[in-house]
Structure formats: C-alpha cells, structure tokens
Amino acid sequence: MPIWRIVAMGALAGQWLCAGATLANAGSKAGSEGARVYEQHCAGCHGADGQSKFAPLREALGFYEPAAIQRSLESGTMAVFGAALSATEKAAVAAFLGSQEPGAGRQAGVEPKCRGEEMRFDFDHSIQAGGWGFDTGNTRFLPAGQARLANDEIPRLQLAWSRVFPGSINMRSQPAIAGGALFIGSQPGTVYALDARTGCVRWTFQADAEVRSSINIGRITPANGKERLAAFFVDVQLNVYALDAASGELIWRETAAPDPFAHSTGSPVLSRGRLYVPISGHEVVAKPRGDMSCCTTRGAVAAYDAASGKLLWRTSTIAAEARVQRRTKAGEELWGPSGAMVWSPPTIDHRRNLLYVGTGTNHSSPATDTSDAIIAMDLDSGAIRWVRQVLRGDAWNAACWLGPAENCPLENGPDLDFGAPPILAQLQDGRDIIIAGQKSGNVYALDPDEDGRILWQAGVGRGGAAGGIHWGMAVDATRERVYVAISDRDHPVRYGPGRPGLYALELRTGESVWRAPAQDVCDGRPGCDPGFSAPVTALSGAVFAGSLDGHLRAYAADNGAVVWDFDTAREFSGLNGASGRGGSIDAVGPVVAAGMVYVNSGYALFRQMPGNVLLAFSPASP
C-alpha cells in the first residue's frame, strides 16, 4: 500500500513526520522554537526538498488548527515520530505550522440551519445515490431515474452552492443522497445531514475520529419491531456506527478491529440486513525505521447485523498468524506475513451468496498467495471460497523507499495493489462478469462461476504505485462499457511514459472503444497533476470524472468528448460563512442525483493540492 493511501487515526489525518530530517527553509519564523523543531524533525518530509515526495507540504499543514497538529503528535499516527519530541516542542511546532494558510476556512460563521420544508425527509422514495458504489455491485452507474440529469442539461451546469469544511485538507467522504438530504462525513469527524437542494444543516453527529467512508442508508427493524431508516458509516479508527437517518440519534456503535494499527479506508456496504466492513491498516508507513518492529496487521472483512450491531463474522485475508521472521541490526523483530489489506468496499453477489474484495500488497515477508488478488468470501460465514491472484511476490513497505533497507521486505515488490473494488456486472446475454482494475494499469475480467478464471486482460495505463487504476472504475451494463480512470502519476518508481486519462472498453471483450487522454493544464501549479486517480461516475449518456488537477469534467459516453469542465482549484465563499478553496480531486468521485451534481475538492496527501470544499451544481435555465 502506498504512502498516499494512509490516513492518520488521530485528528490530523494522513500526515507523516520524519525524525532526523534535513534542514529546510522555515520562513519568517526561522528564529522561533517551533521553526527549529520543524527544521530538525519535520522538513525532511514536509519541506519542498523533503525526501518523502508524497508527504503533504508545510503549506497544507497550515489548514489545521495547532491543537489538531498537537493531538496527532501525541496520540495519532504521528505519535510514532512525535515520541522524539518533548511536550514543549510538540506545542511549539504545532503553533508554528498551524493556522497559517489563507483559505483554510477557520472563520466559519453561523451554520445555516434548515427551517420548515427544508427539514423534511422524504424517505418514501428510493435512495437516489447511496453508498460508495451506488449499488452492491459497485458499478458506480446511476440510471436516468436517479440522476435525473438530461444530456442537454450537462453543458449548462453551474455552481449552486459550496460548503467549506474548516480544519480539513482532504475531502474523502463521498456524499450520499436520500430523502432529499445529503449525508457526508468529514476529516474532523463530524457527520452532516444537509438539505441536498440548498445545503442547509438538518442535523450533525460527532464521531470519535475522522469519517472518510461514504454513508450507507437503509431500513432496519430493531428488536422493538419498529422499522426505521438508518445511516451507517465507519470512522478511521474502525468504529462502526448506525444512526437514525432522520434525527442523527445513535442507534449502535461497535469497533471492527482491536489492532491499533488497523484502520478504515474503504466504505462499508449495506445489503439485506447486513453491514460488511472492509479493514485496512497503516503499519506499512508507521514503522519504517530500524528501531521499530514490523509488521503484523492483516486485511479483513467484518460482517454485522445491521439492526443490532452484532458481529456475525470476521475473516482475515491471510489465514496464518504473523510470527518473527528475522531481526534488524537494532534487535527489533520483523514479523510476517502481514498486509493484503482491503482498501475498498466489498462487492456483493447474492446469486452466488458471495462477496468479492480486492487486496493490497503484503507489508512484510513472506509474500502470500492472497496479496494483489480478488478474493471471494461466503456471505453467511465469511469462509474464503476462492482466490485469484494476479501478481505474486509483491511485498512492500515505506522502508523500501526511505530506508533502512533491512526493514524493506525481501521481495521489495512494485506495490501494485487492488485499490479499487471489483465490479459485478451483467452482460446483455444474462451472464455475470467481474471487472477488476489494478494499480498496474491492467483491467481484468473474471468469471464468477469458475473461481475467478480470467476471461480477458487489457493493459490501459502505464501503472505504478500511485496507479494505474487507483480508486475505481464504472460500468454501464446497458452499453456494455467499462470506463477506466488512469492516474499514471509521476512517481519515484518509474514504469515508462504515463498515459493518464479516461478510457472506455468493451465489457465483453476488453477492446478499446475510445480514449480521452488527459490534457496538462497545471501550468506549474504546486501539487497539480493531470492524472485521474479518483473513481468515475457513469450516467446513461455521460461520464463524470474528477482529476488531480482540480477539474471536474463530463465526457460524452458515445465518444469521450468533453461536454463540460469546471476548475474547482480556486477559492470559494461557503454558505456556512467560511472562506475555503478547492484542490485535487481524489479518493472519491462525483455524485449525480435529482438533477444535481456534487463533488468533494481537496486532497493534500502526497503533495497534491489541499482543499476543503463540497461543491453542488445544477443546470442553468436554457
């Protein structure tokens, strides 16, 4: 798993502080204690010339309040490196880094509370865009009846409202639309139910940690027999929540993994009274040094009864428990096997009573036969029914880049996970097919009736540790099309010339239908890249795709022509009275429902462009 997928377990998500780093320019406060600590312990990763090219730049850290930075150094992922600092030094560097960036959204005014009809939930109609993949097959396709956006309206889309999320640099919780409301989590851990049309607040709920998952909406019948609509989500510390969707009242809360290095990256999936939770971890970057023991955390899936929160089963992607394999020169134990994380939502197949997940690399030796694979698990028991591995020997962790070399797995693999979930689709002749996209840039079609036998394989992108195919594709089964977003971002590990852009393939054969190569419009902007890392969203006549350059574009489904383009990487005045700005679009994709388009903008990990806005668009009158 690459550094850019790791998000902190504390308030400051995804930051990585490097101890013993080289000096860097600390700006106007160079004489302060905070500047001294930054120069000595932080600049080697977060400075412009830092050795970790994917840690957020110092300017992005200025979006945070000093208290959030200090909490991360004390109890978040940064605590591994913060342990080298005294309490005074932590406070000083937090004060030095925090609250410096214009547009960080800290001057929030009064929240616009909904009144009257804006408070009314209309749950009598079907959910318009719920969950990460919009359906349990993770197709990311929205039918016309849900999207309600005609082809001739797309070129007329204009900004309807924007909302700023103070204290955020990564917008990772994809909106869900149901009952006339928009449900979304946030980096500070607040979950919101907003009026989808106006953006006013219906209710809020404070989770224990960052909420990056999408919100699943579904009906449950608790023990009292009174049916209610619930909102399900997971925070980064793997606390699983069920809330009353109309009030925000907590129904139940459970913890999916007691391992302190396990966390949540992918979104849960709700289906037929069960909630399926993917489990990943951040040990891959939290323990890169020779004076640290590594690694034991394994990927997994946990299934819960949606009404009660009772754990039904939990299955690890690696059956064997980790054991000591060797020791570092400092005497620290190196454990294995580990890794094979589940970074994305499970895909549900009720016809075969299975769920499918893609897995990541192993994080320590020995490599296993379940990394870089598609795994099928029984829905009732969690038992693994089959495994289709596409790349063997891919074991990797941060020490392979940053050293010491002894902490790097012996395989020193290329880090080519399945970060995107498998897609279950149906061909026009009624046959089912599984489509899987890998960071290698390859797309695979698997036969679910023959233990995942590969039907076809297409090399679309160059690939690399940042993708290739990073977070997701979309399938329009009616057209029998697969829409593939390619990142091919510049990266220390080179694989040849990149081919970033959006591509359409035949679902049945994998043959190319059209190509829309990315145009580089970055013009030297720091953190800007033309690649498509975020998942795409398909309608019957168009495909919406956000880019690392901050642009949200709509492409004609017939030929890939751009029919609408909006640059989100600019400043916005939010309806909540805060000033903020957009940045790179990554990790989650656009949502189209009831004639409106919603997108998160801002993703500062790996030196991309920070941002903290949710944008809503609607078509102007003709």
Domain extent, residue 24, equals 3-97
CA distance 122 to 132: 21
User: With 70 as the cut, is the pLDDT of residue 252 above it?
Assistant: yes
Q: Quick one: which H or E segment has residue 606?
A: none
Q: Is 327 within a domain?
A: yes
Within this chain, do residues 12 and 159 fall inside the same structural domain, yes or no? Answer: no
Q: How many Å apart are CA 305 and CA 601, to the nearest integer?
A: 34
Closest C-alpha to 294, from 174, 419, 404, 418: 404
196 shares a domain with 61: no
- pLDDT for the residue numbered 14: 34
For 299, 328, 340, 360, the CA distances from 321, given in Å and listed in that order, are 12, 20, 13, 17
- pLDDT of the residue at 103: 47
The answer to whether residues 314 and 300 touch, using CB atoms and an 8 Å cutoff, is yes
The arithmetic mean of pLDDT across residues 315-337, rounded, is: 94
Q: pLDDT, tens digit, for every residue of 149-189?
A: 999 999 999 999 999 998 899 999 999 999 999 999 999 99
Q: Which two tokens stand for residue 120?
A: 């009314």
- Residues 435 and 524 grouped into a single domain: yes
DSSP string, 60-121: HHTTS-HHHHHHHHHHSTTHHHHTTS-HHHHHHHHHHHTT-STT---------B--GGGG--
SS3 107: coil
Examine the fold and report which residue of 55, 80, 97 is the final residue of a domain before the chain moves on. Answer: 97
Residues 195 and 78 occupy one common structural domain: no
- pLDDT for 18-72, tens place per residue? 333 332 333 344 348 888 988 888 887 787 665 555 577 787 787 777 877 887 7
The mean pLDDT value for 318-328 works out to 95
Highest mean pLDDT among 45-49, 328-332, 525-529, 590-594: 590-594
Same domain for 351 and 273: yes
The stretches of 134-183 forming alpha helices (DSSP H) are: 144-147
Mean pLDDT of all residues in 84-113: 75
pLDDT, position 18 = 37
Q: Do 304 and 381 share a structural domain?
A: yes
The reported pLDDT for the residue numbered 23 is 28
Structure tokens at 207: 């989770």
Instruction: Answer yes or no: is 84 within a domain.
Output: yes
- What angle (nearest 5°) sits at the alpha carbon of residue 483, between those of residues 582 and 135? 80
How many residues are present in the chain? 622
Give the model's pLDDT for residue 329.
86
pLDDT digits (tens, 9 = 90+) for 346-396: 999 999 999 999 999 999 999 999 999 999 999 999 999 999 999 999 999
In-domain check, residue 488:
yes
pLDDT of the residue at 469: 98
Q: What's the average model confidence in pLDDT over 318-346? A: 95
Mean pLDDT score, 581-597: 97
Average predicted confidence (pLDDT) for the chain: 89
Structural contact between residues 375 and 357, judged by C-beta atoms closer than 8 angstroms: yes
In a domain, 120, yes or no: no
89 and 149 both lie in a single domain: no
Are 89 and 136 in a shared domain?
no
Calpha distance 144→590 (Å, rounded): 16
**In sequence order, what are the beta bridge partners of 276?**
269, 303
Neighbours of 561 (CB within 10 A): 11
Q: Domain tally for the chain?
A: 2
As given in the structure block, the two tokens for residue 150 are 């005609």
Does residue 471 fall inside a structural domain?
A: yes
In a domain, 33, yes or no: yes
Chain position carrying tokens 């929030």? 108
pLDDT of residue 139 exceeding 50, the answer is yes
What pLDDT score was predicted for residue 289? 62
Q: Is residue 284 part of a domain?
A: yes
Contact yes or no for 498/462 (Cβ under 8 A): yes
Are 213 and 279 members of one domain?
yes
Q: How far apart are the first and last CA of the chain?
A: 47
User: Is the domain of 80 the same as that of 160?
Assistant: no
Please report, for the domain that includes residue 245, its CATH number.
Answer: 2.140.10.10
Backbone angles phi, psi at 246, to 5 degrees: -90, -25
Alpha-carbon gap, residue 470 to 226, rounded angstroms: 42
Q: With a cut of 50, say whether residue 438 has pLDDT above it.
A: yes
429 phi/psi in degrees, rounded to 5: -85, 5
Residues 155 and 88 in one domain: no
pLDDT, tens only, 269-300: 999 999 999 999 988 876 666 667 889 999 99
User: 102: how many CB neighbours lie within 10 A of its CB?
Assistant: 10
Would you say residue 237 lies in a domain? yes
**What is the separation of C-alpha 597 from the centre of its chain, rounded to a whole number of angstroms?**
19
CA distance 232 to 253: 10
Q: Diameter of the chain by CA atoms?
A: 71
Q: Which pLDDT belongs to residue 282?
A: 87
Q: Grade residue 1 by pLDDT with cuts at 50, 70 and 90.
A: very low
With cut-offs at 50, 70 and 90, classify the pLDDT of residue 127.
Answer: confident
> Whole-angstrom Cα distance, residue 102 to residue 544?
30
pLDDT computed for residue 44 by the predictor:
75
Residue 428 sits in the same domain as residue 290: yes
- Average pLDDT on 414-441 reads 97
